[in-house]
Structure 1
Amino acid sequence: MTDRWVIQFCHCHYGPFADVARQYAVLFRDTPYKVLTIYLTGQANEAVAAQSASDEVIFLDFPSRAVAGLKLTPIRSFRRIAASRDVALVIAHRTKPIQIACLATRLPVIGVHHAFGDYRRASRRWFANLFRHRLALLGVSDAVRDDIRGRLDWPPDRIETLHNRIDVNAAHQALASRSEARDALGLPADAPVIGNVGRLHADKDQATLIAAFARALPKLPEGTLLAIAGSGPLENQLRRQAAALGVANRVRLLGQIPGVARLFRAFDLFVLSSDHEPFGMVLLEAMIAEVPILATNCGGAPEVVGEANRLFPLGDVEMLAGRMIASLTLPTDTADHDRLRARFSDQAARQRFFTLKMTENILQA
């Protein structure tokens, strides 16, 4: 009896996408299916191959210019690989892999979208409609799903949600202790710390975070610090803002920190200030560390956070300042860890994936 395969097709393995590959590969653990993960761009990497948690990993290693547009060579490469085994399904992440998989094979394709606006272009809507008879789509949050549904007039069960998730046990075991995390980040052992992790870019809106921190500081516990981990084009602007508000000695711009997720116990409160984050993996990382969370009431963040009293409107300095004060001065009793396991764990995703109508229709065919 020949093995049946699921091909997972990723644009690259940089940033979060090696873990994204892991998230989808483990869906098929202890099933009759083997998983082949293919990376369209990016050099072969043993650590990435191991992290992908797949039965086989192939790095096509095309340069970005070689996959611009719809070039024939990547299509032929994917067709050749798919033809070499008995494939039941292709799971393709992002637009380019979705298009290549549809053009290269006659297989059913589930396309996973990780951002807003992927079907803003008329050409992409035309392509999706051309292959709608064997293409189904997933958004990483209800917000992304609804964005797609607003662009494509498809039956709802052809455009569904499968939330991003985390390996709860592995992530918990990897956590540094509070003292180790503080040492690694250069933070004092006894100061209350409000944390933020993200690129220093306008869409992360750390400017509102700094303004709200300055507004709240007189009512925050003595010695409270704001620590922002990340790098980006707004670093100097944010430093100038902190100086102008008189809080430069209380705001720590930590730069890019490798493996920062294991250091979240350094924080007493985590704030996501982003503009329309499609999901917000950092929120799950804060949950793992059992750190209280505040987040903007937009994008996918409300689905993760759940409680309205931990959300604030984008750019609302006054409300965020009030939420900071309440979070650091009043006792909090949240069930984040239970919510994490129930909704955003590998086990929860596997249960949902195999009960989706799109999955049942493909795998039972």
Structure 2
Amino acid sequence: MKLDAIRWVRELVSGREFHFCIAHRFKPIYISLFATRLPVIGVHHAFGVYQRKMRRWFVRRFRARLLLLGVSDAVRDDIGRCLPGWDSAGLATLYNRIDVTAIQAEQLTREQARAHLGLPRDAWVVGNVGRLHPDKDQATLIRGFAAALPGLPNGSVLAIMGTGRLKDKLKDLAMRLGVASQVLFLGQVKHGRRYFKAFDVFALTSDHEPFGMVLLEAMAAGVPLLSTDCGGAKEIVEGIGPLFPLGDADTLATVLLELSHLTEADVQLLRQRMLQRLNEHYVDDAIRPLFFQILRESGRVS
């Protein structure tokens, strides 16, 4: 299969005047380096890509024309630990980007979103979006919510959007903690980001998220954030929302209580700061000049 892909890319490039190739994830990087003599910009979206010895050997062989990008400082630093001695000019961070205007245009109002999702109209809603998987650690979220619930506004609920193999275990956990009726499993929701305004708070409890695109989408919706203090998510949320240690349900409960007391003026200020953060770091106008600056400084692209 790789041979067919290499042949196809080689034919595509032949007779055309390309200046460089952008490849996302390791296999496309492998194919691009074998199929062409072009400088290759390899973009990584996950941790642990270069833990394999053969992968480390391979990229070192082509390092003169290979620029590696991580979608967060956390991913970049993980690559650097796996590839000691890799020159700093050949390894950089380039954040994912979103089209804020387009995302905001498709989002429903709070009332419309709650009606679509079947959420109580006047409840204080903590939202979470992601696979029901150990990496997402919704168990800590449920424990933290249950601990905070007596001090949260009357009728507060936790709404979890997503499916996965832990669904039954998470439902059992909510039942054991006595919050089964307050923890709502929404299942897979098509175009889920359209409904983020249904949430009063967006909680990300993941174990070392490489980036956290869902956080940008929540920011575009103007929803206050909280996140685990690790991975790429920390870089997005730090300074505009509270962080808590991974797996620490007690601290999470404290954070939820604090967020539940935000005034409308507090929320408006947070929305302004989130929009400013988006425009400074995660939109085309911010990413484009940084991308070409990284290319120039890398020495890989003439």
Q: What TM-score, normalized by structure 2, do the two folds share?
A: 0.95
- TM-superposed CA distance for 1:358, in Å, is 4.7
Q: Does residue 345 of the first structure (1) align with residue 283 of the second (2)? A: yes
Q: Does residue 112 of the first structure (1) align with residue 50 of the second (2)? A: no
Match runs of 1:257-268 below 5 Å: 257-268=189-200
Report the residue type matching 1:307 in the other structure: G
Match runs of 1:1-365 below 5 Å: 66=1, 71-152=2-83, 153-307=85-239, 310-331=242-263, 332=266, 333-334=269-270, 335-358=273-296, 361-363=299-301, 365=302
- TM-superposed CA distance for 1:359, in Å, is 6.3
The alignment yields a C-alpha RMSD, in angstroms, of 1.3
Name the structure with the higher helix share. Answer: 2
SS in 1 for 2:181: helix
Alpha carbons 2:135, 2:206 under 8 Å: kept: yes
Q: Which moved more, 1:108-117 or 1:150-159?
A: 150-159
Q: Which moved more, 1:330-339 or 1:188-197?
A: 330-339
SS in 2 for 1:91: strand
Summarize deviations over 1:108-134 as a string: whole Å, max 9, x none.
000000000000000000000000010
SS in 1 for 2:63: coil
- TM-superposed CA distance for 1:357, in Å, is 4.5
SS in 2 for 1:257: coil
Summarize deviations over 1:166-214 as a string: whole Å, max 9, x none.
1111111111111111111111111110000000000000000000000
The 1:341–1:309 alpha-carbon spacing in structure 2 relative to 1, beyond 3 Å, is closer
The CA distance in 1 between the partners of 2:187 and 2:15, in whole Å, is: 46
The CA distance in 2 between the partners of 1:270 and 1:348, in whole Å, is: 25
The CA distance in 2 between the partners of 1:128 and 1:256, in whole Å, is: 38
Q: What TM-score, normalized by structure 1, do the two folds share?
A: 0.79
- TM-superposed CA distance for 1:362, in Å, is 4.8
The CA distance in 1 between the partners of 2:66 and 2:296, in whole Å, is: 9
Report the residue type matching 1:240 in the other structure: D
Q: Could you tell me the percent identity over the aligned residues?
A: 53
SS in 1 for 2:108: coil
The CA distance in 2 between the partners of 1:140 and 1:201, in whole Å, is: 22
Q: Which has the higher contact order (CA 8 A, sep 6+)?
A: 2
Report the residue type matching 1:298 in the other structure: C
SS in 1 for 2:20: strand
The 1:341–1:229 alpha-carbon spacing in structure 2 relative to 1, beyond 3 Å, is same
Alpha carbons 1:89, 1:362 under 8 Å: kept: no
The CA distance in 1 between the partners of 2:150 and 2:14, in whole Å, is: 66
The CA distance in 2 between the partners of 1:140 and 1:250, in whole Å, is: 35
Report the residue type matching 2:80 in the other structure: R
Unmatched 5+ stretches in structure 2: none
The CA distance in 2 between the partners of 1:155 and 1:234, in whole Å, is: 42
The CA distance in 1 between the partners of 2:195 and 2:165, in whole Å, is: 24
- TM-superposed CA distance for 1:302, in Å, is 1.2
